[in-house]
Chains A and B, each alone.
Chain A
Amino acid sequence: MEDQRTSFEFDKESLALVEKIIARYPPGKQKSALLPLLHMAQAEAGGWLSRETMDYVASLLKLQPVEVYEVATFYTMFNLQPVGNCVIEVCRTGPCWLNGAEEIIAHLEHRLQIKAGETTPDGKFTLKTVECLAACGNAPVMQAGIKYYENLDVEKIDAFLDDCSSKDATTRQNPYK
C-alpha cells in the first residue's frame, strides 16, 4: 500500500477549511464538526482512519479520543483498516438486487480475485458492499470516491477497472476541496 503512515496532520489549506467548518456551529458546539472532519481526514490520510488520525481529529475539536472512536465505529463510510487506492462500493439492497446487483458483485469479485470486504494484494482495489445509494431508478449502482456509476453492466465495470488500473489512480478526494 502506497500510504501506510499512521501519523497525520492537515496542511494549511485544510486547516483553514477546518476553521470554516467549525464556524458553522455555535460556539462550544464544535463537536458537530466531527463527521465533516472525519471525512476530510479519511480522504487525506490514505483512505482510512488510524487511531492516530482519530486522536489528531479529537485534539483539533478538543474532544476525548473515545468520543471520536465511538462515532467512527458507528458510521459505515469510515474505514478503520487500510484500504486500496480505489475503493469500490456496490449497492446490494432490494431494488439494485432486482436489477442484477448479484451479477455485478460476482463480476467484480471475479475480475479482482477478491471477495467483497477485501483488498487486492497489490493494494490497488478494495471492494465493499453498501446499502441503497438513493439511485435505485438507475440500478444497479456503485460508488467510487464521490462519484456515482449507474445503470451498471459488465462493460462499464471493465472500463472503470481499466481506467483505475492505469497510472496511480485513486478514488480518494477531500470532498470539501
Chain B
Amino acid sequence: MGIRILTAQMHIEGIQQLDVYRRHGGYEAFRKVLNAMSPPAVLEEVKLSTLRGRGGAGFPTGMKWSFLAKNTGKPAYLICNADESEPGTFKDRYLMEKNPHLLLEGMMISAFALEAATAYIYIRGELFYVHQILERAIGEAYAAGLLGKNILGSGFSLDIHCHPGGGAYICGEETALIESLEGKRGNPRIKPPFPAVSGLWDCPTVVNNVETLAAVPWIIQNGGKAYAAIGVWKSTGTKLMSACGHIRKPGVYEVEMGLPVEEFIYSDEYCGGIRNGNQLKAVVAGGSSVPILPAALILKTAKGEARLITYESLSEGGFESGTMLGSGGFIVMDHTTCIVKNLWNFTRFYHHESCGQCSPCREGTGWMEKVLHRIETGHGKMEDIDLLSDVAKNIEGNTICPLGDAAAWPVRSTIRHFRQEFEDHVNQKRCPFSK
C-alpha cells in the first residue's frame, strides 16, 4: 500500500471529533505554524511541495497564493471550494464527511499564510448533511480556541463559516462561486481581474479545492521537500481518485502520483477490475469534462508507454490521443455501454447547467444535445456527425468560462475515438445497444 496523506486517519473511530483528531496528531501542524513560522515561511513550504490544485485545473498552489494582492487596505479572503458537482467526482464529500477537522486545519494554516482573517467553505447545497458535520467541527474548534480572536495567544485571528450553494454546477467555477457567495446568480465573471486581485466583495481572494487544502497540514508537518519527493516529476504527492461505473469496487482511493492506470483499474487494492467479467471499453479519467479514451489509449499512450496517474502522463498525446487528470473522477465503461448515449447524457447535463451568458455555450450545448438525441434514437443522418464536431469547435475557446470547453471536449473526443459507433446508429436507424 502506498503512502497515505489524506486518508491515513479515515479508519479511526470518532475521528470527526476534535479530541480524537487531536489524539492522533491533529492540529499539531497548525500549532507549529502559530508557534514557529511566519506567513512567508508557510508559503515557501507549499511552494517547495509543488502541490497543484486538486479542483481540476492543476494550477500550482504556492504560485496561486503568491499572486494574492498585498497592502491593498482591504481584507484578504480564503474560500474553500466544496461545490463538488463534476459528474464522476465524489472525493471532497468523502473527505469532509470522514475527516472534517483535516480540512479545517488545512484552512487555518492556509489562511495564516495568506493573512486572511475570514474564510468560507462554499459547499454544494445538496450536501447539507455534510454542512452539518462541518458546522459541528467548526463549533468544536471555536470552543477549543482554535478559531476566533487571538488564537492560542498567537495574535492570529480567524473565522471560518460554511455557506451552502443552491444547486448549480456552474458555481464550482471560482468566479461564479464568488458571485453566488455574494448572494447573486452564479454567472462567471470575465477575467482578468483574477480573484487574487479582485475576488469576494472586490477583495483579494484565494479559492482552493477541499483536497488541495487538506494536503497542507501534512506538508507543514513533514516539509514541502518530503511532499515533493512523492510522485513523479511535476505531479507530486497523492491524489484522491473517485472511481465509479462498471468496476467491481467503486469508491474513493488515495493513490501516489505515478501509479499505472492499469494497476488502478485491475488491482484488488483499487477498482478490482471490470464487473461481471466484462471487457473494458472506455474511461473518462478526470470527471465528465475531460476527453474520453478507449481502453487501449487509457492503458498505454500512443507511443506504447504505460499510462500513469499523473498530470503529464494522462495528457500525453494532447487531445489527439490523451486526456487530463482533471478532478480525478474516474468513470469506467464496459463493452455493453452505448458511447453515443453516454455522450448524449453528458451533453444534456452541460446544456442544463450552462448559465446562459455566452451564446456559443447556451445555444451550442442545446444543439449538440438535440443532434445527439436524434442519432441515439435512430433518426440521425451521416452529416450530423460532422455537424456535431463543428458546433463543438465553435464553442471551444469562445466563451467566458471553461464550461463551454468542458461541454465541447467530450463531444470531440468521443467522435474522434468512436466514430464507427455513431455511423452504426445512423446506418441501423437504431441504437445497436438497445434491447
Contacts and interface: CB of A to CB of B under 8 A. Distances in A.
Contact of B166 (A35, A99, A135): A35
Contact of A132 (B87, B131, B201): B87
Given A70-B185, A132-B85, A137 B125 contact: no
Contacts of B129: 146-148
Interface string A32-61: 111110110000000000000000000001
Q: Which of A61, A98, A146 has the most CB of B within 10 A?
A: A98
B93 A134 contact: yes
A50 to B, nearest CB: 17
Interface of B is mostly: mixed
Nearest to A76: B167
A64 to B, nearest CB: 12
A143 B346 CA distance: 20
Contact of A35 (B159, B169, B183, B345): B183
Interface in A1-35: 24, 26, 29, 31-35
A36 B371 CA distance: 39
A108 B116 CA distance: 48
Contacts of B244: 95, 98-99, 136-137, 139
B84 A134 contact: yes
Contacts of B166: 35, 38-39, 71, 74-78
Contact of B183 (A31, A94, A99, A175): A31
Given A94-B345, A175-B132, A132 B86 contact: yes
Interface in A56-106: 61, 67, 70-71, 74-78, 92-95, 97-99
Nearest to B126: A133
Contacts of B182: 29, 31-32
Nearest to A26: B201
B14 to A, nearest CB: 21
Given A35-B180, A136-B242, A137-B242, A94 B88 contact: yes
Q: Which of A70, A93, A97, A175 has the most CB of B within 10 A?
A: A93
Interface string A139-151: 1000100111000
Given A134-B127, A136-B87, A95 B167 contact: no
A131 interface: yes
Given A39-B125, A74-B186, A75-B125, A32 B163 contact: yes
A138 interface: yes
B26 interface: no
Nearest to B185: A74
Contacts of B337: 98
B90 A136 contact: yes
Contacts of B180: 35
Interface residues of B, number: 53
B122 to A, nearest CB: 10
A146 B128 contact: yes
B125 A131 contact: no
A114 interface: no
A100 to B, nearest CB: 11
B85 A134 contact: yes
B360 interface: no
Interface stretch (B56-64, B246-254, B300-308): B246-254
Interface string B288-299: 100000000000
A39 B124 CA distance: 12
A152 interface: no
A31 B165 CA distance: 14
A61 B180 CA distance: 16
A164 interface: no
B87 A131 contact: yes
A71 B128 contact: no
Contact of B346 (A24, A94, A135): A94
A144 to B, nearest CB: 11
Contacts of A112: none
Contacts of B201: 26, 29
B349 A94 contact: yes
A95 B86 CA distance: 11
B168 A132 contact: no
A174 B203 CA distance: 32
B131 A175 contact: yes
B128 to A, nearest CB: 4
Q: Which of A33, A97, A136, A139 has the most CB of B within 10 A?
A: A136
21 contacts: A32-B183, A35-B166, A36-B163, A70-B184, A71-B183, A74-B166, A74-B185, A75-B167, A76-B166, A78-B166, A94-B346, A95-B88, A97-B345, A131-B353, A132-B89, A132-B349, A133-B126, A134-B85, A136-B90, A136-B250, A175-B132
Closest 8 CB pairs of A and B: A75-B166, A77-B167, A31-B183, A76-B167, A34-B183, A137-B250, A136-B244, A175-B128
